[in-house]
Amino acid sequence: MNKSIKVFAPGSVSNVGCGFDILGFAIDGIGDEMVLSKNDSNKLHIKPIEGYDNLPTEPSKNVAGVAIQALLDDLGSNQGFDIEIKKNIKPGSGIGSSSASAAGAVVAANELLGKPYSREELVNFAMQGEIAASGDAHADNAAPTVLGGFCIVRAYDPLDVIQIESPKDLWCVVIHPQIEIKTKEARKLLSPKVDLKKAIRQWGNVAGLISGLHKSDYNLIGRSLEDHIVEKQRKVLIPEFDNLKQAALEAGALGCSISGSGPSVFALCEGEDKAKAVSSAMNEVFSKTTIPYFIYTSQVSNKGVRILE
Ligand code: HSE
């Protein structure tokens, strides 16, 4: 059995407009790299994190450490690991930074332990890392990061995740303004009450989106990419949100909304050409601000964490 393994953990877009806390998909353009090695100390040791050195390296405070510990506790193992993280996804970006580290960590640890768990079972442990990051164990980033494609979190207790392959021409544009929004804070903005009429429209959209994904019906996907509950409450945190959305839709995006808790904004598109047009329209809007930003354009990825070597 190998002593060491290197993995790539992709970024992800959660909520996907209408599916707050229950829907997410994996993206291809950006992700974290991690190397996990067994050690003989019975302890987790996180090396200084490449890319973002202000992240905690104490295992009980680090999302990767918390997620691996949850796996080890469930397995009844005291195996120690050295953990190296090369972070490419900025924390507080809205594209699943904490989930990438947590998911990469549990997939890598599981491999080195002889695969005692299935990928589906690993989502449970990856999700525990979110508690360290946002105070809540939501799985809408963790599930697609571990499994790839779109994931529905049908239920949390017990966790029931359904993975759906993405239609082959579904592309995603994500614009990532380089400001930080803490998920914990963005969750505090949300009213705990939902108006019944809005809820009816929202679950209609969730059903429509899932059906559209199954049938590769891009028009139905587009009609369903509407959020009547969360977007309005959170968009105040995102500079140029309304203009970005309008530009994306005018350039032919199927839909556009906040990625996770922001500040990233995503647009789904049919085909690469449309995605490039949407990317350039969003670029045009944001280039007028003084805020640095990145834009990623990629197919929705049907792969979750990948083993590199
Ligand atoms: N569903 C979570 C939220 C995702 O929107 O708070 C956070 O990345």
CA of 79 to the centre of ligand 1 (A): 31
The C-alpha atoms of residue 163 and residue 5 are separated, in whole angstroms, by: 25
pLDDT at 52 (0 to 100): 80
Helix, strand, coil shares of the chain as percentages rounded to 5?
A: 40, 25, 35
Q: Do residues 212 and 220 lie in contact, with contact meaning Cβ atoms separated by under 8 Å?
A: yes
Average pLDDT over residues 138-143: 94
Cα-based distances in Å from 251 to 40, 187, 254, 255, 274: 56, 31, 10, 11, 8
Using CB atoms within 10 A of its CB, is residue 86 exposed (0-12), middle (13-18) or buried (19+)?
A: middle
Q: 261 CA distance to ligand 1 centroid (A)? A: 5
Please say if the pLDDT value at position 169 is more than 90.
yes
Question: pTM for the whole thing?
Answer: 0.95
Average pLDDT value over all residues in the chain: 95
Q: Averaged over 137-150, what is the pLDDT?
A: 95
Residue 94 CA: nearest ligand 1 atom is 8
Element (DSSP H or E) covering residue 224: helix 218-224
Confidence of residue 167 (pLDDT cuts 50, 70, 90): very high
Whether residue 35 is predicted with pLDDT greater than 90 in this model: the reply is yes
64 alpha carbon to ligand 1 midpoint, in Å? Answer: 18
User: For the residues of 195-213, what is the DSSP string, one character each?
Assistant: -HHHHHHHHHHHHHHHHHH
Which ligand 1 atom sits nearest the alpha carbon of residue 230?
5
Substitution candidate for ligand 1 out of 16, 20, 176 with most atoms within 8 A of CB: 20
- The residue type found at 7 is V
Residue 55 CA to ligand 1 center (angstroms) comes to: 19
Q: What's the token pair of residue 33?
A: 């790299």
What are 159's two structure tokens? 């966790």
Tokens representing residue 199 in the block: 């809820």
**Which residues on neighbouring strands pair with residue 4, listed in sequence order?**
37
- Residue 128 to residues 65, 138, 190, Cα–Cα distance (Å): 10, 8, 22
Taking each helix axis from N to C end, the angle separating 97-112 and 119-134, rounded to the nearest 10 degrees, works out to: 140
At 54, the pLDDT band (50, 70, 90 cuts) reads confident
Question: Over the stretch 219-252, which tens digit does the pLDDT of each residue have?
Answer: 999 999 999 999 999 999 999 999 999 999 999 9
Q: Whose CA is nearest to atom 8 of ligand 1?
A: 260
pLDDT for res 240: 97
Residue 263: cis peptide before it, omega within 30 degrees of 0:
yes
Residue 83 pairs in a beta bridge with: 36, 46
Residue with tokens 């239609």: 167
140 Cβ below 6 A of ligand 1: yes
Atom of ligand 1 nearest to the CA of 96: 8
> pLDDT exceeding 70 applies to what percent of the chain?
100
Residue 201 dihedral angles phi and psi, to the nearest 5°: -65, -40
Whether the pLDDT of residue 136 is over 90: the answer is no
Pairing mode of beta strands 4-14, 255-258: unpaired
Please state which of the ranges 18-22, 55-59, 79-83, 163-167 shows the lowest mean pLDDT. 55-59
Q: Is the CB of 279 under 6 A from ligand 1?
A: no
Percentage of the residues of the chain whose pLDDT score is greater than 90: 89
H/E stretch holding 34 reads strand 23-39
- Least confidently predicted of 47-56, 87-96, 277-286: 47-56
Give the residue numbers annotated as catalytic, written as ranges: 130, 183
Q: Are 191 and 234 in contact (CB under 8 A)?
A: no
Mean pLDDT for 171-178 is 96
Atom index in ligand 1 nearest the CA of residue 20 equals 1
By the 10 Å C-beta count (0-12 exposed, 13-18 middle, 19+ buried), 120 is classed as middle
CB atoms within 10 A of CB 62: 26
- Which residue's CA is minimally distant from atom 1 of ligand 1? 21
Buried b (16+ CB within 10 A) or exposed e, 40-60: eeeebebeebeeeeebebebe
What atom in ligand 1 is closest to the CA of residue 21? 1
Q: What local confidence, expressed as pLDDT, does residue 129 receive?
A: 85
- Kindly state if the Cβ of 121 falls inside 6 Å of ligand 1: no
C-alpha 11 to ligand 1 mean position (Å): 13
Nearest partner of 159 among 137, 136, 135, 192, judged by Cα: 137
Residue nearest to atom 4 of ligand 1 (CA): 260
